């Protein structure tokens, strides 16, 4: 949907907590994010901080998202995705090495960028 509304968009910022098996540090999350980048051509920036505050709980995330405003009257809606994810999917070292990930200098375990891989 975002791509249709913003066809000239080249980058996507994702703020995510790092908790549990669905965290942004998990190998499978990174693999799926790489697929998104490859399919859309978007550069995806991942951070576990928002406005300098670590995203350590669902309540923190909802509170920060809910307080987002702009001068033009932007409203933000946030909801928790409670769907269950498949368990036991293994990601090999070779698959991890194929990812186009650049770690941030500041807390690289929390902050990184996934860029599309060359289609060649």
Segments making up each domain of the chain, as ranges: 12-79+87-114
* Residue spans of alpha helices (H) in 6-104: 27-40, 58-66, 93-97
Among the listed residues 25, 89, 97, 93, the one whose alpha carbon sits nearest the alpha carbon of residue 55? 25
Q: Please write the tens of the pLDDT for every residue from 3-35.
A: 787 788 898 877 765 555 556 668 888 899 999
From residue 114, alpha-carbon distances to 21, 57, 117 in Å are 20, 24, 9
Asked if pLDDT for residue 63 goes beyond 70, the answer is yes
Q: How confident is the model at residue 61 (pLDDT cuts 50, 70, 90)?
A: confident
């Amino acid at each position: 949907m975002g791509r249709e509304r913003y066809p000239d968009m080249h980058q996507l910022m994702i703020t995510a907590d790092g908790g549990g098996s669905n965290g942004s540090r998990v190998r499978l999350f990174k693999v799926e994010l790489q697929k998104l980048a490859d399919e859309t051509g978007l550069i995806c920036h991942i951070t576990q901080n928002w406005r300098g505050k670590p995203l350590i709980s669902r309540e923190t995330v909802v509170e920060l998202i809910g307080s987002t405003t702009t001068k033009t009257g932007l409203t933000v809606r946030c909801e928790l995705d409670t769907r269950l994810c498949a368990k036991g999917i293994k990601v090999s070292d070779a698959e991890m090495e194929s990812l186009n990930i650049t770690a941030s200098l500041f807390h690289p375990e929390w902050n990184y960028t996934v860029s599309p891989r060359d289609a060649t």
